[in-house]
Amino acid sequence: MYIHTFALAMKLEQAIQSTKFKSEVHKAVLHILYTAWWLKTQSAKELKEFGLTHEQYNVLRILKGKYPEQMCVRDVASRMIEKNSNVPRIVDRLELKKLVERNTSQLDKRETVITITKEGIALLEASTLVMDERMSKQFQLPEEEAVTLNLLLEKIREIEE
């Protein structure tokens, strides 16, 4: 008989070896930073077998979202999670691996249009399968609690003017 077990997440206190926090809000800030690092590490592990980094995967996903339409660098950048991502340089690496193609736009020669190649799509689909599999299996958070989490995360970004 197969028995499901759940590993208790390592408490933040253990993870960063600190027990005293100025407040729960302060702890939450550190917790968000730690959880983001943890999430990135988890996906990086999966993506490694496909020779992709987290950021390269993200760019491929963005391009696939518009496929077969092309996207210029600025459009890709506006959809990146980390807003200071240097998209031209990430595209450099994807181009070397022949996962995307880069061309000067004929409508506006300042723009570079990027297209995901067939190889890019194939690799993205294979890796997305694995990523989604993990996503659906790994996270034990019920949908309604995820809704709450999303609300709280929005609230923490509310700033006084």
Partner DNA sequence: AATAAATACGTGTATATACATTTAATTTGG
Partner DNA sequence: CCAAATTAAATGTATATACACGTATTTATT
Residue pointed to by tokens 């809000």: 25
> What number of chain residues touch DNA (CB under 7 A)?
33
Does position 2 interact with a copy of itself (CB under 8 A)? The reply is: no
Nearest to 50 by CA among 117, 138, 133, 119: 119
Interacting partner of 111 out of DNA, a copy of itself, none (Cβ under 5 to 8 A depending on kind): DNA
Q: How far from each other are the two terminal CA atoms of the chain, in whole angstroms?
A: 58
Does position 31 interact with a copy of itself (CB under 8 A)? The reply is: yes
| HSE-CB for 125 with a 13 A CA cutoff | 7
Site string for DNA, 99-138 (x = CB under 7 A): ---x-----xxxxx--------------------------
- Beta carbons within 8 Å of 30's beta carbon, 6+ residues apart: 12, 16, 18, 21
Site for DNA in 26-85 (CB under 7 A): 37, 40-41, 44-45, 48, 53-56, 72-74, 77, 80, 82-85
Alpha-carbon torsion (130, 132, 133, 134), positive or negative = positive
Name which position in 35, 88, 141, 148 contacts DNA (CB under 7 A): 88
List residues binding DNA (CB under 7 A).
37, 40-41, 44-45, 48, 53-56, 72-74, 77, 80, 82-93, 102, 108-112
